[in-house]
Each structure stands twice: as C-alpha cells, then as structure tokens.
Amino acid sequence: MRYGPTLLLGLLGAAAIVVGVARPWANATANQPGLPTIHADVTGADLAPLAGALGVVVLAAFGAVIATRGWVRRGLGVLIVASAAVVLVTAIDPPGATSGLRDALSAKGWSGGALDPGVSGWRWVALAGSVASIAAGVAISLYGARWATMGAEYDAPAAAKSDQPGSTAPQVASTEAEVWRELDEGRDPTRNGEA
C-alpha cells in the first residue's frame, strides 16, 4: 500500500465519521388525532456519545501518522482500527434508537401510540467512514514503518547528534554576532561543525 492514498483514504473516512455522527441517524413521525404530524430525529452523538469521541480520536491519529515513524506509527494504526471498529458496530446497531426517538417525540408533545421510524443517510456515511478508516488503519499497522517519515532536519539539532553513540552535540553559535557571521558565510548556524 502507498502512503499518500492510504492517508487520504483514512482522513476522508475519519472526516465522514465526525460529520456523520454529528448528524441525525434515526428519525420518526407520529400522528395524534386532532394534532399535526410530529417529526423528530436523534443524532449519532445522542445515541452513542462514545462514537463521536472516537471519531475525533481517529481523525487526530491520522494527523499524528504524518509526524511519527516506526512502531509508534504502527501503534497508531492499531488505535485507528480499534476506534473505527467501535464506531462501525455502533453505526450498524445504534444503542437505544427506539427509546431515543420516543423521548424526542415526547419532548414535542407526543403522548404515545404508533410511530413511523426511519433511518437517516448520515448513519451510512458514518458507517462507510469507519470502514474506510479501518482499511487505512490496517495498512498503516502493516506497512507504516516502511513509509517515508519527516526528515532528520526536523529534529532538534542537539537531539539528532546526541542520539549517536560517541558523538557530542554540535556547537551552536551563541551570540547574535556569531549567528549573523555564520549566515553571511552561507552556513546554517544551527548545524555548526557539520559537513
């Protein structure tokens, strides 16, 4: 699997989860004699608050994949799979959908009786997003350690040198005059002493 397409698939899937959970998952209409038809809906966040939180976790984890490498990146892939799987199960069978609809109708004046329940398309958006996130998470956990990472130039200079055994941290220009002299001579003052 390739890095770019996998990350794009995962980000789109995570965004679909976040948006889909915030929108109505179930709706219902009820008729009462002598009263107008009552309409009510409940969002995925109303039915499963954990799904909304896990959607944000999945989105943040995909963002973190960019800045990590090795086993940390693979661990993020596992976290993504686990979190998206919970959202998937919740979207397939939302807990308390019927009672949530009854409560929403009651808040609008429904006093009981027959109701006509329905399913919103946003529930399927969240479901599809969780499937896409699971697929991308599996790819990250399997292949993520081999993918490109941010270069070492993004690491702190002292940290990059001190990680190597037997080496000392580079001497960095300490005064403003030394910094400007290094820049005038075409050298990076943060890499003083490096080839």
**Torsion angle (degrees, nearest 10) of CA 75, 77, 79, 80:** 170
- Closest by CA position to 83, among listed 150, 152, 137: 137
Residue-wise pLDDT for 64-73, tens only, equals: 998 888 889 9
- Confidence label for 133 from pLDDT (cuts 50, 70 and 90): very high
pLDDT single digits (tens) 20-53: 999 999 888 888 777 788 888 999 999 889 999 9
Enumerate the β-bridge partners of residue 119.
Answer: 26
